[in-house]
């Protein structure tokens, strides 16, 4: 489920600053996730996005953690415990390590990427649990100069200078997913003020689409609202996938950088 939610160059005035000005350590965003079940939008899970500082022997990284868990009342129907993590440069949001641990019903999958940006190579490890036994696959994947993972891409979009763009402006971003480079397209629709659990917010309204995707459907059916301020907090999202539709609503936001 989280893979559907979070999957959420043409040049124009979407400028990414060399420095990260929107994301700091200690930020925590909590969302309710609802899904259209039999025609009714039903709240079934909580999604959390957190940042923290991680010190290594040679540097300090920013850990970007996204997790999703169904509420206990839905666990017997379809239990979800998904975790996505990206370890990035605090100043540029460039990823160095990415981990993905998926537990959805009987489906279990682990994925890890180690980035070498100088050689434009990723060391990939993928493990799957099957009835016949565990399967592990290791490979080296060549990537483009600006290829990221899905988590760092989400935070990267928040660092865009969207105020310099005009409605209709579009930009593409490339990320690695299941060992394949994919292109996500972000289009600015305009500004809109909406009521949220953290107050009434003027927002940038963005349309998100994924080229050749079997996950996200439509070109203007997946929408994201970011606060039109220095933090660009995602406060609301609507998504359409192959098996239905749903939405994310922010519940709380703490530790913001600005």
Digit-coded pLDDT (tens) for 202-211: 999 999 988 7
- Residues of the chain with pLDDT > 70, as a percent, come to 89
Counting the structural domains of the chain, the total is 1
- pLDDT confidence tier of residue 253, bands split at 50, 70 and 90: very high
- pLDDT confidence tier of residue 242, bands split at 50, 70 and 90: low
Residue 164: Cβ-neighbour burial (10 angstroms; 0-12, 13-18, 19+): exposed
CATH code, domain with 103 = 2.40.360
Whether residue 209 contacts residue 192, with contact meaning beta carbons closer than 8 Å, is answered with no
Reported as a single tens digit per residue, the pLDDT across 111-138 is 999 999 999 999 999 999 877 778 999 9
Reported as a single tens digit per residue, the pLDDT across 159-204 is 999 999 999 999 999 999 999 999 999 999 999 999 999 999 999 9
Q: What does pTM read for this prediction?
A: 0.89
DSSP bridge pairs for 203: 192, 227
DSSP string of the chain?
-HHHHHT----SS-EE-SS--S--TT-EEEEEEEEEETTEEEEEEEEEEEEEEEE-SS-EEEEEEEEEEE-HHHHHHH-BEEEEEEEE-TTT--EEEEEEEEEETTEEEEEEEEEETTTTEEEEEEEEEETTEEEEEEEEEE--TT-EEHHHHHHHHHTEEGGG--TT-EEEEEEEETTEEEEEEEEEEEEEEEEETTEEEEEEEEEEEETT-SSB-SSSS-EEEEESSSS--EEEEEEEETTEEEEEEEEEEES---
Residue, of 132 and 153, whose pLDDT is higher: 153
Instruction: For residues 74 and 43, give the distance between their C-alpha atoms in angstroms, rounded to a whole number.
Output: 10
The parent domain of residue 166 ranges over 2-254
* Average pLDDT of the residues of the chain: 88
Please name which of 85, 213, 196 lies closest in space to residue 151, comparing C-alpha atoms: 85
* pLDDT above 70 for 213: no
Q: C-alpha distances in angstroms, 6 versus 67, 133, 184, 241?
A: 10, 29, 11, 12
Residue 38: Cβ-neighbour burial (10 angstroms; 0-12, 13-18, 19+): exposed
């Amino acid at each position: 489920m989280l893979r559907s939610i979070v999957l959420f160059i043409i040049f124009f005035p979407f400028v990414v600053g060399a420095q990260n000005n929107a994301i700091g350590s200690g930020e925590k965003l909590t969302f309710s996730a609802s899904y259209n079940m039999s025609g009714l939008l039903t709240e079934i899970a909580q999604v959390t996005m957190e940042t923290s500082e991680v010190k290594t022997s040679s540097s300090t990284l920013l850990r970007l953690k996204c997790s999703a868990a169904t509420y206990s009342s839905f666990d017997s129907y379809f239990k979800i415990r998904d975790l996505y993590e990206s370890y990035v440069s605090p100043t540029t949001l460039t990823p160095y390590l990415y981990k993905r641990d998926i537990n959805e019903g009987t489906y279990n999958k682990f994925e890890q990427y180690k980035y070498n940006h100088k050689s434009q190579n990723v060391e990939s490890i993928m493990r799957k649990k099957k009835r016949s036994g565990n399967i592990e696959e290791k490979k080296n994947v060549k990537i483009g100069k600006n290829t990221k993972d899905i988590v760092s891409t989400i935070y990267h979009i928040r660092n865009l200078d969207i105020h310099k763009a005009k409605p209709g402006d579009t930009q593409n971003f490339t990320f690695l997913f299941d060992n394949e480079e994919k292109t996500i397209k972000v289009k600015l629709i305009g500004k809109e003020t909406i009521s949220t659990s953290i107050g009434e917010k003027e927002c940038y309204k963005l349309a998100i689409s994924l080229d050749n995707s079997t996950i996200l459907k439509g070109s203007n059916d997946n929408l994201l609202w970011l606060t039109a301020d220095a933090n660009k907090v995602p406060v609301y999202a609507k998504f359409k996938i192959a098996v239905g539709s749903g939405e994310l609503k922010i519940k709380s936001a703490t530790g913001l950088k600005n």
